[in-house]
A and B are shown apart, each in its own frame.
Chain A
Amino acid sequence: MQRFSTGNQTFSRRSMLRGALMGAGALALPPLLSACGGSGSSGGSSSGSKVVTYGSNAAVPQPKGAYETLFAQAQKATGYTVDVNWVDHNTFQQNITTYLQGNPQDAFDWFAGERMQFFAAQGLCDQIDDVWAKIGGNYTDAMKAQSKGTDGHYYFVPFDYYPWAVYYSKSLWAAKGYSEPTTWDEYIALAKKMKGDGLIPIAFTDKDGWPAMGTFDYLNMRMNGYDFHIDLMRNGTNWNTPQVSAVFEQWKQLIPYYSPGFLGLTWQEGAAQLLNKQAGMMVLGLDQIGTIFTGAKADDLGFFAFPEINPSYGQDSVEAPIDGMMLSKSPKNRAGAVALLEYLGTAPAQQLWLAADPADIATANGVDTSKYTQPQTDSVTLIQKASHISQFMDRDTRPDFADPVMLPAIQQFLNSPGSVSSILSGIDKQAKLIWASNG
């Protein structure tokens, strides 16, 4: 009893100190914060707590409601109550480094790929081989590979994912008599025809900066292959090469068919052009476009794989970002968090969540696909046919490279397509510096 009260006192003093530091906006103090968090958690690791804390990036109503239903069910299935800290999606991403070094929740939402491996390699999350001993049977080898850190341990439970493809309105295409192109020449010919029909051939928007990354990823994978793409993303060498330069040269052919003023438009405005039948097609993720084509319109959403450019690679790669969950470095209730992740790694859990979100598909095997909408069913087929799955530029490469360097570089290219060589040498020099440094 006495020990408990002493522990309690230290804790409250620590949390007051922490509060004071946070109040001062002391951004540059993560090591100090982590020291507090670490000792606090080891002191208060009272076993048998029935609460698991969870950091969620889904503060907006639509996914939040779905998660609340899910966590209510998780409580029935595991016996652990989930205490959620809801944070806005972008804020969560922006603050992840500080968050993980501070006093994070036991489990939290995150993404697969380099984005997961980067933080795992920094020792900011806990490996979960024990979770995978239970849920391993629910996942394909491709999913398993996407859940491991570079050290071979598991760090991530895949929950849902979605493909990137070329989307269109089926009813518009039926009215105009268009058919799905599979090669580059057919794609360009179709775009030309759409322009003649008074449509915006390709809805394209890049005010947000990231949507254009998907087009780069596809062009690069189609022209140079998956292995080249991943090597480029992971190692940062090769940016100033003829192969990458060719990607941008190819890209130039698309720009005349893009939405006018695309650098001033958000992806929502582009998707609306598709929905309103002003535009013919759009390269985007189901996770985005699926929130625009909802209700009765859902089944009007058709798509095809990004067209083939180099026959030796065909359409063998699909961009399919995986969202999921991880454990923080030293969770206060590890047993509970493990039980929660084990539950989230099952088909019934994912099915329950997907009932409220038709813009994603489940990662675990055994989900009742008869409940999927047409775009969801087609997405499963598209991904299963692929021999390689990439994540997305900002998930396949270092976080301190994707947004600070590539995002403005691609915008600069779209602004002045003539200056490819100087843009590429700029990217190359920055990439070499970033990979050589530790921050």
Chain B
Amino acid sequence: MTVWEAAPRRRRARRRHLSRGDRVVLTLMAGVPLLLTLSFVWVPALLSIVLSFSSWPGIGGVSSIKWVGLQNYHTIFTIYPQFYPALEHNLIWLAVFFALPAPAGLFLAVQLDKQIRFSRIYQSVLFLPVVLSLALIGFMTELIFSPTQGLLNNLTGHAGQNDMIDWLGNPHLNIWAVLLMACWRQTGYVMIMYLAGLKSVDPSLKEAAALDGAGQWQTFRHVVWPALRPINVVVLVITVIESLRAFDIVYVINQGTNGLELLSVLVTDNIVGEASRIGFGSALATILLLISMAFIVPYLISTFRKDGQE
């Protein structure tokens, strides 16, 4: 871990010799992104939280905003029938993304890292879905799972009227059909992350392990896996983000209704539309924000704490 120790010392040493030009450059380099982040991420996020306590059709000026306290949240938790299914689906999405694409991506990455023949071809094939947008994958889901015209039902002979499997219309099935396609894409994404991580693992470590008589699994468990820790944080964060921001694929299929409700869809339904319920939609968005915070913040805190101790 020499790299970790050297870095802060070097940084400290350099700070003393900052010229005026350096200071200007650094201020600009830190200040401009900070300003952009503040104005396009934090201020809108805070405004959303503020608006979530209001009732506002989005028509007319700020004067037409009516403050209603916690009423939007009360409505969401008591009489908004789409909320609990959406919450449940988001959590299922999160659980499935952790259970399937994350380990599968790691597994594939480790296999591809072994310098097998045609590795590049496998890599491109597995990474290909990541290039496609989720909206496009939504269209592909329809082509595959459509009950009468889809590939799957026609191949398995379930497209007839009496034995049809209603992959897209049955609310107990469609979420899994969609998740399968989403996982297909996510696996390639995770794989590329891990592949990049594995390339940076010093080969001499593995050689040393091999000389010590470690088997494949032992090498992975005790040498490679610990070295992948920074990548794990990245994978965790993208898994949480990707599963909470899931939207396009279900919106393409049925606008996120009938078994495909997601919090992101409910936010869109209420805010972007012929008549907007901006306050209500903001309350939903705030709930989504809190959920993502609940997953990401504790992990990041513990990670930074460990980094600080080293």
Contact = CB atoms under 8 A, between A and B. Distances in A.
Interface of A: 24, 26-28, 30-31, 93-98, 101, 115, 118, 122, 124, 200, 207-209, 260-265, 269, 398-400, 403-404, 407-409, 411-412, 415, 423, 426, 429-430, 433-434, 437-439
B275 A97 contact: yes
Interface string B22-41: 00000000000000000010
Contacts, number: 142
Given A97-B274, A399-B273, 4 more contacts: A264-B166, A269-B146, A404-B277, A426-B79
Contact of A97 (B40, B58, B164): B58
A118 B275 contact: yes
B276 interface: yes
A95 B275 CA distance: 9
A95 B268 CA distance: 11
Given A31-B61, A411-B258, A433-B75, A261 B148 contact: yes
Contact of B55 (A261, A423, A438): A438
Interface residues of B, number: 53
Contacts of B21: none
7 contacts: A28-B44, A200-B161, A207-B254, A263-B169, A400-B57, A423-B81, A437-B68
Interface centre among A26, A94, A423 (most CB of B within 10 A): A94
Interface string B142-165: 000011110000000000011010
Interface string B68-87: 10000001000111100000
Given A438-B57, A439-B275, A439-B279, A404 B174 contact: no
A27 B274 contact: no
B13 interface: no
B47 to A, nearest CB: 7
Contacts of B279: 439
Interface SS of A by simple majority: helix
Interface in B251-298: 253-255, 257-258, 261, 269-280
Contact of A429 (B40, B79, B162): B79
Nearest to A415: B171
Given A27-B271, A124-B59, A429-B79, A261 B166 contact: yes
A264 B166 CA distance: 6
B257 A28 contact: no
B254 A439 contact: no
A94 B169 contact: no
Contact of A95 (B171, B261, B272): B272
Contact of A439 (B48, B79, B168, B277): B277
Interface SS of B by simple majority: loop
Contacts of B174: 264
B93 to A, nearest CB: 19
Contacts of A115: 274
Nearest to B74: A433
B57 A415 contact: no
A439 B273 contact: no
Contacts of B164: 260-261
Contact of A262 (B55, B169, B277): B169
B158 to A, nearest CB: 10
Contact of B81 (A200, A269, A426, A434): A426
A439 B58 contact: yes
A101 B146 CA distance: 39
B8 to A, nearest CB: 37
Contact of B254 (A28, A200, A209, A260): A209
A399 B51 CA distance: 21
A439 B272 contact: no
A408 B82 contact: yes
B269 A404 contact: yes
A122 B147 CA distance: 43
Given A207-B168, A399-B273, A438-B55, A261 B147 contact: yes
Nearest to B167: A264
B308 interface: no
Contacts of A265: 147-148, 169
B229 to A, nearest CB: 35
Given A28-B51, A439-B55, A400 B147 contact: no
B110 to A, nearest CB: 38
Given A409-B81, A426-B79, A31 B273 contact: no
B276 A97 contact: yes
Contacts of B275: 97, 118, 398-400, 439
A239 to B, nearest CB: 12
A400 B277 contact: yes
Contacts of A209: 254-255, 257-258
Nearest to A394: B274
B111 interface: no
A439 B57 contact: yes
Contact of B47 (A28, A93, A96, A260): A28
A265 B30 CA distance: 52
Interface centre among A122, A262, A264, A429 (most CB of B within 10 A): A264
Contacts of B278: 28, 439
B169 A122 contact: no
A203 to B, nearest CB: 11
Contacts of B166: 260-261, 263-264
Nearest to B75: A433
A249 to B, nearest CB: 20
B170 interface: yes
A122 B275 CA distance: 11
B56 interface: yes
Nearest to B271: A27
Given A94-B273, A264-B169, A408 B81 contact: yes
Contact of A408 (B170, B257, B273): B257
A403 B266 CA distance: 11
A260 B162 contact: yes
A423 B275 CA distance: 23
A429 B82 CA distance: 14
